[in-house]
Amino acid sequence: MKKIQSLLLAIAVLAITAQCATVPVTGRSQLSLIPNSQILPMSFNQFTEVKNTSKIITTGEEAAMVRRCGTKIQRAVEQYFRERNLSNQLDGFEWEYILIDENTVNAWAMPGGKVAFYKGILPVTKNETGMAVVMGHEIAHIVANHGRERISQTLAAQTGLSLAAIAAGGGESSLNGDMILQAAGAASNLGLLKFSRTHEKEADQLGLYFMALAGYNPQEAVAFWERMSAMSEGNAPPEFLSTHPSYGTRMSELKKNMPKALEYYNKAK
Ligand SMILES: [Zn+2]
């Protein structure tokens, strides 16, 4: 935590430049106040911390499937970026896929290529294609830099400046160390960032395309979300659903994005 704070203070002094970035594929403009070159080392440190303090399953078919599925989608994404001369957007990424031995129905991603699945989500993903739905979604959060955007938004909110003012380049002189320290609160929990509805919708869309590009049938996403939704009937919804869009919204978005995903799938087959 101390390291992150001093790092962020250094960022405050040296590197805060007002800027926006563009999300690949969707073309949405997003706030980007801190470069990946500064976010990624923080993320990697935290991921190491998670690995050191959790029970990680490294052997057996399930762990192998997590790695295989992640690597397949990663390669497809890398190829997609290469073909569009966007590979530099993946600079510094260190992809890694782990399976944590806990019965939580959840998965998450950290900036720079780190993905974790909990054992508890495997009965819902059921098979490798079902896993690809969740893996595509998590890889989409990473590739779209949703973590960086969340931190930037927190930082912007704490400065009390409007995003428009920052985008116009007027924000730099108003940032101070306290504000950066507060943003460290958000940055210190990269794996547990609460993404916005916009982020979740975008991750669903990109995730569907990414699984299809990797040769996984995107139509399986419908069955997966049905299984996930069935789990939420009665008791509290699974963690993976609680911060995500409602079932109805998700299904109508899936339908909307399916033709393009099937195009990618038919080319990848
Ligand atoms: Zn998500």
pLDDT of residue 160: 55
- 251-258: Cβ within 8 A, 24+ apart: 251/222, 251/225, 253/201, 253/204, 253/205, 254/204, 254/208, 254/221, 254/222, 254/225, 257/204, 257/205, 257/208, 257/209, 258/208, 258/218, 258/219
Q: How far is the CA of 245 from the centre of ligand 1 (A)?
A: 9
User: Which residue is catalytic, options 96, 138, 200, 220?
Assistant: 138
Q: What is the pLDDT of residues 121-171, one digit of tens each?
A: 999 999 999 999 999 999 999 999 998 888 888 777 766 554 445 445 544
Q: Tell me the mean pLDDT per 10 residues along the chain, length 269.
A: 50 52 91 85 88 96 98 98 95 97 92 95 97 97 92 72 48 44 49 75 96 98 91 68 77 95 95
pLDDT of residue 172: 45
pLDDT of residue 242: 65
d(CA 48, CA 114): 10
| CA-based nearest residue to 224, from 128, 140, 143 | 128
d(CA 136, CA 18): 30
Q: How far is the CA of 141 from the centre of ligand 1 (A)?
A: 7
Q: How far is the CA of 113 from the centre of ligand 1 (A)?
A: 14
Is 102 part of the annotated catalytic residue set? no
Q: Tell me the whole-structure pTM to 2 decimals.
A: 0.83
Q: How far is the CA of 109 from the centre of ligand 1 (A)?
A: 8
d(CA 139, CA 163): 27
User: What tokens appear for 1 in the block?
Assistant: 């935590």
Q: Read off the DSSP letter of residue 102.
A: S
Length of the chain: 269
